[in-house]
Structure 1
């Protein structure tokens, strides 16, 4: 499988718009395929999806090629996605645990993936005043975008991942932090979805960590990673919004920078409770 031109079916199908996340636009379903614009991280994403197909990982779409309009063609992944407004089950703890298991399954599956020579992950450049990244070496090419919009559920459990656009080499603790960011959620309650504003966030962090099978060492690093990643994200989001515009700029204009600052303050206030929940016997 490679990224060559996709040969269309002889049977015509209409293009049905699909609701994307915060920045993905122009995604459509055509028959049993999904069409989306080729992003700046495409060389890595395409190599990653080919690898996942080769090893038989069932929790990701297959890359079929590039259509005549220059769009990626992927297999459509059937199931249920938590769009907006979020469904009531967004707070369900059994579904939460299944997210942790899916993230672990993905990380284990991709542990043997080697980025092809000449392929470089799409990353922001370091900027003046930008805090350092966590000092832990990369272990996997992580998905790093575990929003509710990007996890497909079947029969009440997380079954597949979509939208690998921000995949990059990271430590496993980064992957678990990213899942907690959206599913615990790690943010000021004022910025959480209404269905998640009164949940026990430290408890939900523990559920995700246990379901993932998080190591004791990574549990002890989680809060540190969360704070450092949050501080850096203010700079990276600002840079991407300025350089790429579109949905990124809209998010910045709508106040994502302020939400990041509130998240940082919330994490600092709640660090002890989260750390205690993760590391309790």
Structure 2
């Protein structure tokens, strides 16, 4: 897959475009993808195989054990959005399908035991913990589309046990998006109605009334976890995150998002429940 200049990654050979930490290090080799293996691969690979056994065929299948710090997985055909995100993956139908896909992941995962002591990454993990293996990074770059609908999830590097609602909140951050209008304008089409879109995502997933009431607060919590993650990477001098922070408004952007979420908490709750 390479970028066609229109914000969509296409099915082609060679290096696969997109990503942040693994940019330029992911390659398609025929029907396989070769990429850096996450530290959690020893637990993640059996989990992905078990998901398939329980009916979730919407994720890459590991092929063999990691060798030399790299892993091989089956290639998942389809289109993946790249920033700035195009209109066709930001429709309400597309958003609803993302919610449904995450629900399918969690339903299949409910039948698979999670080794909570396996050393899962804590970077974006639910602070409350849990027994569901959450993807934690369901951003547009990690969702494969076919015919306008979310068909598969890729890049489980940040997966860790947590609450299903945490995964929905993390997904909402990227897909609604849960950003103030000025921040959203840099990557997303203009005019997206955040409260209405949050409701669409919740409907797609099938959240209960209790979960809907809790979701805005969990989104705020997830935003703080993401900020802390970026803070650690910047403090370590990670050039990827230093550049991303500078290009996307610095810490002022994070402050603006925090204030905007708190200011609109009741509006989001009303949109979810009414």
TM-score interval (norm. to shorter): 0.7 to 0.9
The answer to whether the 8 A contact 1:34-1:74 is kept is yes
Partner of 1:181: 173
- Deviation, 1:117, is 7.2
1:22 to 20, 23, 32: 20
CA deviations 1:73-114 (Å, max 9, x no partner) are: 010000111113322213211111111100101111111222
**Larger Rg belongs to:** 1
| Distance across 2 between alignment mates of 1:91 and 1:15 | 26
Q: TM-score, normalised by structure 1?
A: 0.84
Partner of 1:276: 270
- Deviation, 1:195, is 4.0
Partner of 1:101: 100
SS at match of 2:20: coil
Partner of 1:6: none
| Distance across 1 between alignment mates of 2:13 and 2:188 | 32
Count of paired positions: 260
SS at match of 1:160: strand
Q: TM-score, normalised by structure 2?
A: 0.86
| Distance across 2 between alignment mates of 1:63 and 1:218 | 33
| Distance across 2 between alignment mates of 1:246 and 1:112 | 40
Partner of 1:50: 49
Question: Gaps (5+ residues) in structure 2?
Answer: 1-11
What value does the CA root-mean-square deviation take over the aligned residues?
2.5
| Distance across 1 between alignment mates of 2:251 and 2:200 | 28
| Distance across 1 between alignment mates of 2:243 and 2:50 | 34
Partner of 2:156: 164
Partner of 1:212: 205
Partner of 1:128: none
* Distance change >3 Å, CA 118–CA 267, structure 1 → 2: closer
* Distance change >3 Å, CA 123–CA 244, structure 1 → 2: farther
